[in-house]
Amino acid sequence: MDKVCITLNVNGDRYELAVDPWRTLVEVLRDDLNLTGTKIGCQTGDCGACTVLIDGKSVASCMMLAVAADNKNIATIEGLSTGQDELHPIQEAFVEQGAIQCGYCTPGMVLSTKYLLDQNPDPTETEIRQALSGNLCRCTGYHRIVKAVEAVAVKMRADGKGE
Ligand code: FES
Ligand code: FES
């Protein structure tokens, strides 16, 4: 089958690519664009390791063909902070609260948190747990992740940043 020409807008950069029509978005992000912060876990839509934001909504990029992302705006973990040595406040909170162990789930957790806080800057613990229910962590037991989200929600509201 012939390759398909697509345009991906990733973290503000525009990429024109020719891709096999069966390849998933996460494969193209990692293998063609070298954006390896997005992780591959289950490849069946269950673990959330591959979470990215597409036009602002969280999506499991293992469940989306790259051709379906043509002309869409994609945000990966690499684009979240403002600079090479900067952390986004969500990332800072995960570090400060000890919400990272092996780190494999962390990019997906952070992007799901971003999506949550974009929609709901003042979530309850239940809402946080629901919002992250599609992101599995084999290490932390989730408690510190929830604490990190609570902490950054407070900080971002105090700073007047809803993003
Ligand atoms: S790798 Fe996509 S949800 Fe698990
Ligand atoms: S920190 Fe290891 S899977 Fe979450």
Domains and CATH numbers, the chain: 4-79 (3.10.20.30), 89-159 (1.10.150.120)
Given a cut of 80, whether residue 156 has pLDDT beyond it is yes
**Tokens 């609570």 map to which residue?**
150
Taking the centre of ligand 1 as the mean of its atom positions, its distance from the CA of residue 65, in whole angstroms, is 13
pLDDT of residue 44: 98
| Substitution candidate for ligand 2 out of 91, 139, 144, 146 with most atoms within 8 A of CB | 139
Model confidence at 161, pLDDT cuts 50, 70, 90, reads low
pTM of the model: 0.95
Exposed, middle or buried by CB within 10 Å (0-12, 13-18, 19+), for 40? middle
101 lines ligand 2 (CB under 6 A): yes
